[in-house]
Chain A
Amino acid sequence: MSLDWQGAWLSVIHHPLFGIAITLGAYQIVLAGYEKTRWVFLQPVLVSMVVVIVVLVSCGLTYVEYRKSTDILSILLGPATVALAVPLYLNLRRIRQLFWPVLTTLVIGGVLATGSCVALGWLLGADHMILMTMAPKSVTSPIAMLVAEQIGGVAALAAVFVLITGVIGGIFGPGLLTLAGVQSPEARGMALGLTAHAVGTSAALQEGDECGAFAALAMSLMGVATALFLPLAVSLVA
């Protein structure tokens, strides 16, 4: 009697829980590694992503199937975004005290983040579609995807650029800020949230509550500002 090993294997990897299993597994292994070594390149999101992609490709699974089985995790992103109101509220007094610095940094930093990316992309010869997809790269993916589509980019690619930006910001952001002599948690949080959205915010939360609150604030302000003004700016230029 021979057991149907291959059939068992196939029913395991095509089970709806398989995507969840590799995501949870990869994340915990990477997190444990990060906590042990504190090595900046072990950015949890980035390394988990690589591990999951390797597993999917070697099992011959498609992204569509993986995405469907991890729907429950993606659905929780909505309430998690809403939950950012809590650290924001808790630090409201501090934010009110710094109202003008926050507003000034938002306007100048936000224009620089969006403008410099489009200008550099244009100089390096990326085509129009890619430029319009890269423009909203500093905001959270739901807003970036919406805005990219409105101004002539591709929504799904926008999510990828948003992620690349966030991951680079999460890895190099804290070090760059220290190099530039930025010490106060408010300024560090503001810079991380403004330019590297949710990934920057989660890096900021690791530095402390206050830093995280300013990152959440910067992220939501930048998101709202981009959603309102970027389509307007593009329609004026074009």
Chain B
Amino acid sequence: MLLRGLTWLVLFQLVGTALNHLFLSILPGPIIGLVLLMIYLMIRGEVSEPISLAASSLLRYLPLLLVPPAVGVMVYADQIADDFWAIVGSLVLSLMISLTFAGWLMQKLIDRQSSRREPS
């Protein structure tokens, strides 16, 4: 079951990689694969057991998979140290501003939509 689902996910990514090479060099293969799997699920109208099992197992370990690329920080220690405050300052401030703003905006829009739908 798990293997069959995993095979599907890998196949979708490989098709995505082929499309990436042929037409869409701007979008990486996995993202094209995500869109393709999405379209496939919409056409089928349900998530089959193997795909659902493979997806939930992989996603549970997503943080673990992100550790190796994260360790790459050690290679760029010097460049980061040179512009340290500019980098950290702009990354942190910009994240805090945009994250808070995006959440606030979305909340306001949801509230407005639901109050409009409810019969007053």
**Minimal beta-carbon separation of B111 from chain A (angstroms):** 8
- Report whether A84 and B59 are in contact in the complex, using a CB–CB cutoff of 8 Å: yes
- Report whether B67 and A82 are in contact in the complex, using a CB–CB cutoff of 8 Å: no
- Report whether A89 and B66 are in contact in the complex, using a CB–CB cutoff of 8 Å: no
- Chain A's closest residue to B60 (CB) is A205
- Chain B's closest residue to A117 (CB) is B94
- Chain A's closest residue to B70 (CB) is A49
Number of interface residues of A (CB under 8 A): 108
- Report whether A138 and B87 are in contact in the complex, using a CB–CB cutoff of 8 Å: no
Asked if A98 is at the interface (CB within 8 A of a chain B CB), the reply is: yes
- Report whether A77 and B66 are in contact in the complex, using a CB–CB cutoff of 8 Å: yes
- Report whether A137 and B91 are in contact in the complex, using a CB–CB cutoff of 8 Å: yes
In the complex, chain B residues whose CB is within 8 Å of the CB of A191: 99-100, 102-103, 106
Contacts A/B (CB < 8 Å), 28 sampled: A23-B67, A48-B67, A63-B75, A67-B71, A67-B72, A73-B68, A80-B59, A80-B62, A82-B16, A83-B59, A84-B55, A85-B34, A100-B109, A101-B110, A108-B101, A109-B105, A112-B97, A117-B90, A121-B86, A163-B70, A164-B88, A173-B99, A180-B100, A194-B98, A195-B98, A195-B102, A198-B66, A227-B27
- Report whether A92 and B42 are in contact in the complex, using a CB–CB cutoff of 8 Å: yes
Asked if B1 is at the interface (CB within 8 A of a chain A CB), the reply is: no
- Residue positions of B touching A, CB distance < 8 A: 6, 9-10, 12-13, 16, 26-31, 33-35, 37-38, 41-42, 47, 51-52, 54-56, 58-59, 61-76, 79-80, 83, 85-107, 109-110, 113
- Report whether A117 and B73 are in contact in the complex, using a CB–CB cutoff of 8 Å: no
Q: How far is the CA of A169 from the CA of B93 in the complex (A)?
A: 11
- Report whether B28 and A196 are in contact in the complex, using a CB–CB cutoff of 8 Å: no
Asked if A223 is at the interface (CB within 8 A of a chain B CB), the reply is: yes
Interface string of A173-192 (1 = CB under 8 A from B): 10011011111101110111
